[in-house]
Every structure is written in C-alpha cells, then in structure tokens.
Amino acid sequence: MSRPALLAVDDDGPVLAAVERDLRERYGEQYQVYTASSGDQALDLLRRLRLREEPVALLLVDQRMPGMSGVELLAASRRLYPDARRVLLTAYADTDAAIKAINDADVQHYLLKPWDPPEDRLYPVLDDLLQTWRRPPPVANLRLVGDRWSQASHAVREFLTRNLVPYRWLDVEADPQARELLEVAGVDAGSLPALVLDDGEVLVQPDLHEVGARIGLRARAERAAYDLVVVGAGPAGLAAAVYGASEGLATLVLECSAPGGQAGTSSRIENYLGFPVGLSGADLTLRAREQAVRFGAEILVPAEVVGVRRADPYTVVRLDDGGEVSAGTLIIATGVEYRTLDVPGAAGLTGVGVYYGAGRAEGVDHAGGHVFVVGAGNSAGQAALFLATFAASVTLLVRGGDLAASMSRYLVDRLIASEKVAVEYHTQVAGALGTRRLEGLRLRTGTEEREVAADALFVFIGQAPRTGWLDGLVRRDDGGFVLTGVDLGPTPEWPLEVPPLPLETSVPGVFAAGDVRHGSGNRIAAAVGEGAMAVRFAHQRLGAR
C-alpha cells in the first residue's frame, strides 16, 4: 500500500511552497505530500485518492481562499475521509472562523500564521495528530457475524469497539456475505454471534473473556504481588497507572470491560485542559493507555474484581476467574455506571434500541432514524449533538424545566442552535415499546401520556458507583461512594497513630480516586488529578512501612 497522504491547501503560492517544504522535510519519508491551490482542486484530488483507495492522514488548509473557504473544504472532505486529521491555518482575525470550524467541520486543531519556527509551532501539533491517526487496514480479517437486533451480538460489538479492535461487522439479515461465511464455517444462523478469527477459527456465541483472550488482550497478571494495583481503567485509573509506573512502582491495572470508563464512550470532550478543539473519549483513552504501557504498567482486560480481603499490610484482590493478586497499595478507581431505566419494556430492549452511552457503532446503526436521548447533564447533551450527525432527528427528553442548572452553557447554546435537535421539557419515559427491537416510546408529560415512534433511546439518567465488590472492607456513604480523608470523620477502627491521608479510605494503603469517591469533582480533569495524587500518597504509605 502507498504511503498515507498529507494534503496542504493554500491559494497563496509562497505560503503553499513553505508549507510543502516543511511537510516534506519532517514527514517525507513516511508520508506522500500533496498540495492544492484551491478548494475545488483539493476536493478533486481527494476524490481521485479515494477511488484509488489511498489513505489520507491529514489535511492542512488555509481559511481565506476564494471560491471555497477552508472551513467549507474541511467540512466537505469529511464525506471522503472522515478519519483524516483536519487542521485549519488562520490569521489572528479569523478566530470566529476557527471556532466555527471546530463546531461544524470537526477540525482537530487550528494554527496561526506564521508558524515559524516549525520545530516549535508546527511539528509538535502535527506529530500529535498523526500519532493518533491510524492507517485503516485494507480489510479487517477479524469478522463478526451477527444479528443487528441481538443483545448478544451487540455486547461483542461494543466490547471490540471500546477496546479499539478493528473488525468487520456482517449483519446476517442485510449482508449476503454473512450467510455465505456461516455456510462455509458450518455455523447455524440461530447460533449467533459468530466471531471469525484471523486464522480462520470460528468462535460461536463466545463470552467476552474468550474474545479478549483470542484477540490478544492480556487477561492474566505476570506476578503474584505488586506495589500498586489499580482497579478500574477510566481517567483516574489510567492516570494512576501512568504516574505509578513512571515512578518505578510495579503497577497492575484491572479493568472489567474496556479502558476509558464512561469517558471512553464520549463522542467529544471539549473542556479538558490543553485540548482547545476537544478530543474524543477514544482518543484520550488510546493516548493514556499507550502512555501507561510504555512506562511498564500491566493492564488486564477483561478482569473483573469480585472480592477483596486484608492480609496486613497488604490487600488481596480476588478476580472472577478465581485468581488473586496481592497489592502493597490499592487504588479504587472503578468510577460509576449509568443508572438503568426502570420502566416496562426497557430491560428486554437493552442493546437493541435502548442504549446506555452513545458510541459510533450505535450512531451508524441508526443513521437517518428518529432517536431520543433522556437526561439533562453534559453526557446527554454531548450524545444528542453527536447523534445529530447521523440521525434524521434527535429529541432530548428533560424531566425538569431548564437545562442551565445541570448542563454546561456551551452545550446548551449548541443544542439550541442545532436544527436537528429538539428539547422536550417536563417529559419522562414511561415505557419502551417493541418486541425484537425498539419501535416506540410511551412518554409522560405531567399527567398525560402518549406514544411516539422511535428508532433508538439513549439513556443518561444519573450514575451509581461500582463498589459492591468492596463489601466489608472500606466505609462508604449511603449512596455507595467511597469515603476518604476528612470525610471519614471519627475512625475508631483506624490502626495507625497518624490520621488517614487525603484520598485514603478507612483501610491504610487503600485509596480512592475519581467519580467513585465521595465528594469527587465529576469531571475528567478532576479524576486525572486525583489519580495522580493517589499515587503520591501511595508512595508515602509504602515509605512508612
């Protein structure tokens, strides 16, 4: 396959020549550098590259061009190369255009001209963007054959997607190749899902542990004891892994589903420090996971913790496969999970029209459909905007009469401005309708109920901590969140002469960080900060022994 393309577009000849020179000097060995002097010329080139099935990694486009602006070109390029990284070149006077590009054209960065010296102002930005771009495989040999309206098929799809594993999805009802593949493999269509591995072996109705083991995810620890064990690989857990491993602690991370936690399912995180144009939850997860592994942390997926006991001064963690791991210090970073919708019909339609979290696969599945989002927090607002890029219409159902009290202002403004998103206040879901898949909703407004047609419902109605496995070990509040530091209050059972450290639980050497902790900030940046701080305190506790 040819080298991935970098495309620079500018109608100013000397500027375009300077961009081409800088790109070739830095990236010429790994990438093919193309240039265009107008938006129309650039689109024509992109079409030809697409027909030749040549990958495009990045577009670097000037805003002020006659005929077609940079924002218009970048927006049009998404249809041809949706995964390419997009950078807008602007002048100081074009701030409004840059903001519009972020909102309308999914631009990942904008650069002010001039960018000299490129070593300081150009290359670091492009290096970072190209590092997160992955050349699409010509054909993913891992194939999943299933029924789009099967809960079991959806569970495997979600597991592969959230673990960033490339695969081909073949719907048994819509894709003739799916039936042909099943016939060759000798698998009955009633025994789906079926996962066809790279070597041709077929796993029929596999559980997620089997899937993880066969696609190369690590599920068993290399050692019996670690300086630091982190339970949960959301932002807090991954931050703890990075800092713990980089500071020389033997570090193990246990994750029951996929790294990233709820943040990993976010279509866009726009208020994280240092990323002015935002980034997706998948991007943030990929960066953090690679960083932790590079420093030497072990990350086990799927590895669910089912119990824990003390063997002073150590904590022994028990896994669902029966194995145990000893921890010198333990950080609880299991985060929270979305509360389920407790109305008639919802449980049976989970994964086949009713979803908790909004991933790309679900968005694509319901392209052109009429979808509903229930909730009034930032997660609900982000999901509604993301789904609007696929669906014909999105209706946000809000129990109260105002979004401002629970949602960031920038999201409220974008929801109001969107032509595809409608907001219904004082409205709740009273029931989910459908047998094999979601077909409609029963909505309640005040005392009146009505039924509406619906293709999908995405639920964001609050969160509950994942702390059941901690029964009998640490103190928690009435909601199940872990108490730490001064929030513990009087601790007559505390065995040490010094009081608990900040973020330390009622058990010495056991800490909590992120959303699972009582009084946490419920923001990704706060979770990352607590994960890093917990490692510092873990060092103190280890040093005192």
**Among 507, 524, 520, residue whose Cα is nearest residue 470:** 507
Instruction: Say if CB 514 and CB 531 are below 8 A apart.
Output: yes
The secondary structure element, H or E, covering residue 409 is helix 409-417
- CATH 3.40.50.2300: which residues of the chain? 5-132
CA 8 distance to own-chain centroid:
29
- CATH 3.50.50.60: which residues of the chain? 225-337+464-543, 347-461
**Among 466, 434, 452, 257, residue whose Cα is nearest residue 347:** 434
Average pLDDT, the chain: 91
| Residues contacting 25, CB < 8 A, separation 6+ | none
Share of the chain above pLDDT 90, in %: 68
Instruction: Say if CB 80 and CB 46 are below 8 A apart.
Output: yes
At 95, the pLDDT band (50, 70, 90 cuts) reads: low
Q: Where are the alpha helices (DSSP H) in 215-309?
A: 235-246, 281-294
Predicted confidence at residue 531, as pLDDT, reads: 97
| Cβ atoms within 10 Å, residue 80 | 14
Pairing label, strands 298-300, 251-254: parallel
For residue 296, pLDDT over 70 is answered with: yes
| Residues contacting 162, CB < 8 A, separation 6+ | 257, 258, 260, 264, 265, 359
Q: Is 393 exposed, middle or buried (0-12, 13-18, 19+ CB in 10 A)?
A: middle
Predicted confidence at residue 449, as pLDDT, reads: 96
- Torsion angle of the four alpha carbons 223, 225, 231, 232, in this order, in degrees rounded to the nearest 10: -30
CATH class entry, domain 5-132: alpha beta
At 172, the pLDDT band (50, 70, 90 cuts) reads: very high
For residue 498, pLDDT over 80 is answered with: yes
For residue 21, pLDDT over 90 is answered with: yes
Predicted confidence at residue 140, as pLDDT, reads: 56
For residue range 359-414, list pLDDT tens digits in order. 778 888 999 999 999 999 988 999 999 999 999 999 999 999 999 989 999 899 99
Averaged pLDDT for residues 431-442:
96
Q: Taking every pair of C-alpha atoms in the chain, what is the biggest distance, in angstroms?
A: 76
**Among 38, 112, 103, residue whose Cα is nearest residue 75:** 103
For residue range 202-213, list pLDDT tens digits in order. 999 999 989 998
Please give the CATH architecture assigned to the domain spanning 225-337+464-543: 3-Layer(bba) Sandwich (3.50)
Averaged pLDDT for residues 283-307:
92
Please give the CATH architecture assigned to the domain spanning 143-214: 3-Layer(aba) Sandwich (3.40)
For residue range 257-274, list pLDDT tens digits in order. 989 887 777 767 777 887
- pTM (2 decimals)? 0.81
Predicted confidence at residue 104, as pLDDT, reads: 65
For residue 103, pLDDT over 80 is answered with: no
For residue 511, pLDDT over 90 is answered with: yes
Total residue count of the chain as it appears in this document: 545
**The pair of three-digit structure tokens given for residue 446, joined into one six-digit string:** 């005040």
For residue 545, pLDDT over 80 is answered with: no
Q: Is the dihedral of CA 523, 524, 529, 531 positive or negative?
A: positive
Instruction: Say if CB 542 and CB 501 are below 8 A apart.
Output: no
**The pair of three-digit structure tokens given for residue 284, joined into one six-digit string:** 């943030």
Whether the ω angle into residue 492 lies within 30 degrees of 0, i.e. cis, is no
Which three-class secondary structure state does DSSP give residue 5?
A: strand
Predicted confidence at residue 200, as pLDDT, reads: 87
Helix pair 70-77, 95-104: axis angle to 10 deg? 10
Point out which residues pair with 465 in neighbouring strands: 336
Predicted confidence at residue 308, as pLDDT, reads: 95
**Among 83, 91, 81, residue whose Cα is nearest residue 12:** 91
| CATH number of the structural domain 347-461 | 3.50.50.60
Sheet of strand 143-146: strand arrangement: 168-171, 143-146, 194-196, 202-204
At 293, the pLDDT band (50, 70, 90 cuts) reads: very high
Please tell me what DSSP assigns to residue 46. H
C-alpha 151/C-alpha 528 separation (Å) is: 33
For residue range 343-358, list pLDDT tens digits in order. 999 999 999 999 998 8
Point out which residues pair with 338 in neighbouring strands: 463
